[in-house]
Amino acid sequence: MLGWEFPPFVSGGLGVHCFELTKALANLGVKIDFYMPSSGTTIISPHPNVRIIPVDYSAFVGEIDLTDAEFGPYFKFLKMGGGKNKVGDAKNGDPSITDDPKTDESYGLNFFEAVGRYNFLVAKLVAQKNRREKYGLVHFHDWITAKAGLDAAKRIGRPAIGTMHSTEYDRTANISPFEWILAIERNAMAQSSHVITVSNMTKNQLVSRFGAKPEKITVIYNGIDLSKYKSQVKKEQFGITGKVVLFHGRLSIQKGPDFFLKAAKKVLELDPDVRFIISGKGDMLPQLVNEAISMGIIDNVMFTGYAEESKLPYLYAIADAYVLPSISEPFGLTVLEAMANGVPAIVSKSCGVSEIINHCLRVDFWDVDEMANKMLAVLRYAELREMLSSGAREEAGHFNWQKCAAETKLVYEKIMNERTG
């Protein structure tokens, strides 16, 4: 399995997914070598059947030919000064939407250069280790490891399965996506033996915008580890009184935090005692702070910065409502996290998770008036809040990583049987 992040080095749902999926697959008897960038520290494996293989890609740029058909686009892009005039945060799991390519903290590399080096080296390492390990297949995650996954599978003569957690259209909110990343994603759809994705919404996008064959795609929803979200802390322990509305996620255009702020202002015009917490980091943070100031609501808005996984249950526990107003969200794992803690959720209709949950309120991301109305309804009406809360806890229990892993293993077996049969 090829990934870009793994706990404790995570920036979003992708790292959580890789950790939980590998652990659950290992419990089913699957042996996994998980390749990821070297962090300089030892990563603890979640299971004896999972071996973490750190890849130090810092010394391999000299081996990469800029004309190489497989890996050239990363480096040609850099030589042309790519990444200008974009919005986003490359370091926070959103490399496709960045003002300028950021620097990789490990090696002082440009982000895209780091991705290119990593992909080039991983493909070679998989081929080398296969001589002894005899891998059954290669499973890669998103565009960021697609090149390596396809090349490694070709080198060892085994199937390549790709999980597409999001697309470049999602990450840029359909605003000026990088065409070369779209080309990588399009090629991944065409060349993979099979594709897994996290919602029917994303499957439909892969078919309509990337030309993928529907029969080649399996939808497997994310899970949730309920044991992590049972905090009993009270907001009063943190010196907070009154109602609290939470936004948690990457502060990028995709997630719609600016719509959250606009709705917050409308709520405060009718109920000035509500507190709004914005948890996360990203390129939009300075803009959001300035907007809160210019709107005159900064005293009611708390920016927490990045929240470590161990602290997340506390945020959910003190919230009276959770809002995810994403413009384009393939799934929305944070919604399940909030629901697991019994927090009423207000979810954008553009979130994949909204297609499978019932105990939530749905809203168009752009309709800040209706978003504000739904916030006020949850905060004002105890019966509505309790109905959503109890239903959310029960419904969150239907989603677990064991089910996700079992369905993933079935895909593995199907593809391998087709190949041998």
Q: Tens digits of per-residue pLDDT, 392-406?
A: 999 998 999 999 999
Q: Percentage of the chain with pLDDT > 70? A: 88
Contacts of 195 (CB under 8 A, 6+ apart): 161, 162, 163, 164, 188, 189, 206, 212, 216, 217, 218
pLDDT given for residue 60 in this prediction: 55
CB atoms within 10 A of CB 349: 14
Higher per-residue pLDDT: 145 or 56: 145
Q: In CATH, which of 1.10.260.40, 3.40.50.2000, 2.20.25.90, 3.40.50.720 is domain 13-223+401-420? A: 3.40.50.2000
Cα 367 from Cα 348, distance rounded (Å): 10
Cα 354 from Cα 347, distance rounded (Å): 7
Q: What are 271-286's pLDDT values in tens digits?
A: 999 999 999 999 999 9
Q: Which class is 226-396 in CATH?
A: alpha beta
Higher per-residue pLDDT: 415 or 38: 415
Query: Where, residue-wise, is CATH 3.40.50.2000 in the chain?
Result: 13-223+401-420, 226-396
Q: What are 120-172's pLDDT values in tens digits?
A: 899 999 999 999 989 999 999 999 999 999 999 999 999 999 999 999 999 99
Name the one residue in this structure whose structure tokens are 């950021």: 102
Q: Coil, strand, or helix at residue 395?
A: helix
N residues, the chain: 421
Cα 272 from Cα 266, distance rounded (Å): 10
